[in-house]
Amino acid sequence: MTFMTSSKDVSNLVEKRFEHWQDLPEYLIRPDASMLIKINELSSTGSDEITENVQFHIENQFLTGSGIGLNFHVDRESGIAEVWIAPEILKRTSFFTHDILGAIVRFFVFSRDRVPLHASTIISNETALILYGRSGSGKSTLSYQLLKRGAEILSESAVFIASEDQYRLWGDVQMIYLRPDVRALFPELASYPDKKLPNGKTKIPVQLPILGTKNQRRLHFSGTMHLIVLEKSESEQSDLVKVSHQEVIGKLNSERESGFDLSDKFYETIKNMPVNSTYVLKSGNDLAFKAGLLENLCN
């Protein structure tokens, strides 16, 4: 992936955002999947009304986006993206690097043996817990609870499944976004401000910790995997029920949401994923207890 810009500010932000990608081993890098992202700085808008709302549009191999002080166009077949941004956008560093550059890169990798699944993925004791659930099912809250208990987060809302050579999970999460009402569960978040996301939802953004001494985050995982479907329970106590692989795959295939339906390899990929077991977590209000149920799968 190559970035082209005449702006030193852009260059610094890009380097900080993607520097940990440079530690990938050579055998995981695909020279046939190059991408060029051209970033052009516009004149100041002269307005204090810059928002973080972006209008995204997908048509075939093209992704376009626009907002105040922002336009971009991505052609995933050619591997070329062009971005035009006002300096006010650069001051919103998380928005620029996560919501804009992140969206561009994710759209591109959809066509390069990376099938997206709407799931959070937790790594504990070299075991991956893939937590699938529709919006509002509690994936992020449970992920944050497991993070506090020592797990790593590979993906917060979308994990990418690669099937070439061997099945491997990919993620590049920087932030976790939690519902404002979880402050009652996590008092340390009391002073964290709300943020309105491009999809219109209001969340608490929480920066995730960097692992190791080289500013590394885990980007990929290949090993023991458990696939867990989160379902709201009418009972206060949660219950983890083992179910057939085929039952879960059918559910995932029928419930694909907009933005996760861009790959025609989805069904074959998840059908053949070498998961060790599949479960339904009938999720009650007992957060610590259900976190413990999942931790037991990793021991």
Confidence of residue 215 (pLDDT cuts 50, 70, 90): low
- As given in the structure block, the two tokens for residue 23 are 């530690």
pLDDT recorded at residue 3: 93
Q: CA 136 to CA 232: how far, in whole Å?
A: 10
Give the per-residue pLDDT at 48. Answer: 65
Phi then psi for residue 26, to 5 deg, are: -60, -35
According to DSSP, the residues that pair with 39 across neighbouring strands are 5, 83
pLDDT band, residue 34 (cuts 50/70/90)? confident
The yes-or-no verdict on residue 16 having pLDDT over 90 is: no
Would you state the pLDDT for residue 275? 94
* Angle, helix 139-148 to helix 287-297, in steps of 10 degrees: 70
What is the pLDDT at residue 121? 96
> CB atoms < 10 A from the CB of 67, how many?
21
* Bridge partners, 157 (sequence order): none
What is the three-class DSSP state of 243?
strand
270: tokens are 């998840």
Written out in words, the top-level CATH class of the domain with range 115-297 is: alpha beta
Neighbouring residues of 265: CB distance < 8 A, sequence distance ≥ 6? 115, 163
Q: How far is residue 73 CA from its own chain's centroid?
A: 21
* pLDDT the model gives residue 53: 78
Identify the pLDDT of residue 228: 96
Query: C-alpha angle 9/10/12, rounded to 5°?
Result: 65
CA 44, CA 280: separation in Å to the nearest integer? 51
> How do 152-155 and 55-59 pair as beta strands?
unpaired
- For the segment 164-190, the average pLDDT, to the nearest whole number, is 90
Tokens 């561009």 sit on residue:
104
As beta bridge partners, residue 59 has 62
Mean pLDDT of 11-31: 83
> Could you tell me the two tokens for 88?
């006010």
At residue 190, the pLDDT reads: 94
Quote the pLDDT of residue 49: 66
Mean pLDDT of 46-55: 73
* Angstrom distance (rounded) from CA 194 to CA 204: 5
Q: What percent of the chain has pLDDT over 90?
A: 46
Average pLDDT over all residues of the chain: 87
Whether residue 214 has pLDDT greater than 60: no
Stronger pLDDT, 131 or 283, i.e. the higher one: 131
Predicted local distance difference test score (pLDDT) of residue 227: 96
Question: Six-digit token pair at 136?
Answer: 């509002």
Q: Domain ranges in the chain?
A: 2-109, 115-297
DSSP string over 167-226: -EEE----EEEE-GGGGGT-GGGTTPPPEE-TTS-EEEEEEPPPBTTTTB---EE-SEEE
Nearest to 283 by CA among 80, 145, 163: 145
Q: Per-residue pLDDT for 74 more than 60?
A: yes
What pLDDT sits at residue 22? Answer: 78
**73 confidence band (pLDDT: 50, 70, 90):** very high
Percent of all residues in the chain with a pLDDT value above 70, rounded to a whole number: 95
Res 112: pLDDT: 75
Contact 19, 210 (CB under 8 A): no
Bridge partners (DSSP) listed for residue 152: 123
Return the SS3 of 77: coil
Residue type for position 36: L
Average pLDDT over residues 48-71: 84
Residue of 82, 59, 56, 76 lying closest to 67 (CA atoms):
56
Q: What is the pLDDT of residues 254-275, one digit of tens each?
A: 888 777 776 778 889 999 999 9
Does residue 157 surpass a pLDDT of 80? Answer: yes
Mind listing the pLDDT tens digit for each residue in 83-123?
999 888 888 888 888 889 988 988 888 777 888 898 999 99
